[in-house]
Amino acid sequence: MSDATFTFRGDEALKNAFAMAAKARDRTSAQLPRDFMREYMQQQQEAARHDDGFRRQVQAGLDSANAGRLLPAAAVETKFAARRAAPRRRLEKSK
């Protein structure tokens, strides 16, 4: 992999403070931006994977609904009422 150079303008005081902060962490002021860039790209890739998974789940739900595989509202409410009641029962038992 070939190296690329980034050049940008910044405040001299910020540059000096950044260099001192990097040195305090036993890093150079050139190493930290590379670390930040790697972390940022990893976060972006994780977010993209999450978004892709979420979109697939939404599409699966839409496909199911379009195929007529729906539950009556009363059935959904009954199911989730039971789910809400379970922690309440545990809370009451712990008192």
Better-predicted residue by pLDDT, 6 or 77: 77
Hey, what are 45's tokens?
């890739």
In sequence order, the 6+-apart residues with CB closer than 8 A to the CB of 6 are 33
Q: Are 21 and 14 within 8 A, CB to CB?
A: no
- Quick: pLDDT tens for 49-86: 999 999 999 999 999 999 999 999 999 999 999 999 99
The candidate with the shortest Cα–Cα distance to 3, out of 48, 33, 28, 23, is: 33
| Mean pLDDT calculated for residue range 3-20 | 93
Say whether pLDDT at 88 is over 80. yes
Instruction: Indicate the pTM of the whole model.
Output: 0.64
- First and final C-alpha spacing in the chain: 62
pLDDT per residue as tens digits for the range 23-55: 999 999 999 999 999 999 999 999 999 999 999
Residue 66: predicted pLDDT = 97
Cα separation, 39 vs 87, in Å, equals 38
